Amino acid sequence: MRRPTRPAGPQGCRVGALLFAVATLAATIGSAEAAEPVSIYRVDPDLTTAQFAVSHLGLSMQRGHFGRTRGTIVLDPEAHAGRIDFIVDASSIDTGWAARDTFLRGEDMFDTAHYPVVRFRSTRLAFDGARLVGVSGELTMHNVTRPVELYVARLDCGRDQESGRDGCGAEVDTTIKRSDFGMRYALGIVGDDIGLSFQVTAFRVSSDDEADEP
Amino acid sequence: MPRQSGAFAIALLLAVDAGAAAAAEESYVTDPAHSQPSYEIRHTIFSTQRGDFTKSTGKITIDRDAKKGSVDVNIDTTSLRSHDPRLDSILKGEDYFNVAKYPMMTFKSTAMRFEGDRLTGVDGELTMIGVTRPVTLKVADFQCGENPFNKKPMCGAEVTTTIKRSDWGMKAGVGRSSGDDVKITIPIEAYRE
């Protein structure tokens, strides 16, 4: 697209002022219309599970989850826009076996003393019509940041009858290679492919609340 | 010479294999840490709850030639974890697992299903909160090998099924706060005895 030529002289100034006024008007109308469709959600840690699955000895799929998560989701389905910021406390890793959890927190795996947080930040949201179907973003884990694509298998929004709050629930999954994040210990015994599966529940908040999170 | 010793090695392997096949029934014990049952259930209109049981024991016998065997699993209901601390006490309480009265959930097989010589399913009875109902477990990726560290022969699999909890009389919250269908997934690692 050609750039508009810079207005020059008194006439250009008037045209510029007019354009500015039109643009401001358009933006005002636009934001008034957009105010409704943009929704901000806060992840409810108690109703959210970040689960992982990995092959062990090539014989079984072992699973665990991270007990502490938080995050913010902004969705504007009409504009096919939004953003997701999801944070996992790496030391909250939980496989139901204390000895294994200690090992996973240790230097050979997550090294949570140095890298306490696993974080996903979206770069682009993909919609099919008004439905969110995928999220491109960057995952930071073990001090390495790599691009990751998340697949949104389910997204239901509505009013929770118990709490009366508006919210959404989603099932999101992807597969990463732990070696891409520098976690190479015992490859071959414990698989490289890590299935990630998130059951996310998030409740709607006002835009004022968004600032303090995360 | 190398060719002859190679042929001898193959003959020996075949003999060992034949020997192993002759001992028809094998017996296995599950490794509880690598065999934790987990569940998944819809909660409210948009959430899914996951949880697991960290303590269980299991015995498996299998006769691949005769295509039969048995599975006997005990799950300690007090080891339930819902991943939501607020929920644990509710789920362990009288309306749900009532763990004070029913500390154990059991599965006993009635038949094993094979496709060719591969185990693909187990029919049996699940006893939960004092009620016994038939259940069919799907068995995927059943395969055997040995632990590279201790060299013990072992088998692994992924076991899944979906039950309706109301069939066992666990009806609290059905149709209101949570679903009736419960998806169960049990990874299995079992060592040969």
Which DSSP string corresponds to chain A? -PPPPPP-HHHHHHHHHHHHHHHHHHHHHHHHHHTTT-EEEEE-GGG-EEEEEEEETTTEEEEEEES-EEEEEEEETTTTEEEEEEEEEGGGEE-S-HHHHHHHHSTTTT-TTT--EEEEEEEEEEEETTEEEEEEEEEEETTEEEEEEEEEEEEEEEE-TTT--EEEEEEEEEEEEGGGGT--TTBTTEEEEEEEEEEEEEEEE-HHHHTT--
Angle, CA B16 vertex, CA B13 and CA B22 arms, to 5°:
140
Q: Which helix (H) or strand (E) holds B110?
A: strand B104-115
Query: What are the backbone dihedrals phi and psi of residue A95, each rounded to the nearest 5 degrees, phi first?
Result: -115, 10
The full DSSP string for B128-152 is ETTEEEEEEEEEEEEEEEE-TTT--
Half-sphere exposure of A214 (CA within 13 A, CB side): 22
Written as one letter, the residue type at A101 is D
Written as one letter, the residue type at A118 is V
Query: Quick one: pLDDT at residue B173?
Result: 87
- Is the pLDDT at B138 greater than 90? The verdict is yes
pLDDT band per the 50, 70, 90 thresholds, residue A36: low
- Is the pLDDT at A68 greater than 60? The verdict is yes
> What's the whole-model pTM score?
0.82
Chain A residues bordering chain B (beta-carbon distance below 8 Å)? 46-47, 49, 51, 56-63, 65, 67, 96-97, 100, 156-162, 167-171, 189, 199, 201
- The whole-angstrom distance between A31's CA and the closest CA on chain B is 29
Q: What is the ipTM of this complex?
A: 0.83
Average pLDDT over residues A18-25: 48
Q: Is A168 exposed, middle or buried (0-12, 13-18, 19+ CB in 10 A)?
A: buried
Candidates B47, B119, B160, B174, partner chain A, best to mutate (most A CBs within 10 A): B47
Mean of all residue pLDDT scores within chain B: 89
- Is the pLDDT at A11 greater than 90? The verdict is no
Q: How far apart are CA A146 and CA A95, in angstroms?
A: 25
Decide if B52 and A96 are in contact by the 8 Å CB cutoff: yes
Q: What is the pLDDT of residues B42-52, one digit of tens each?
A: 887 788 899 99
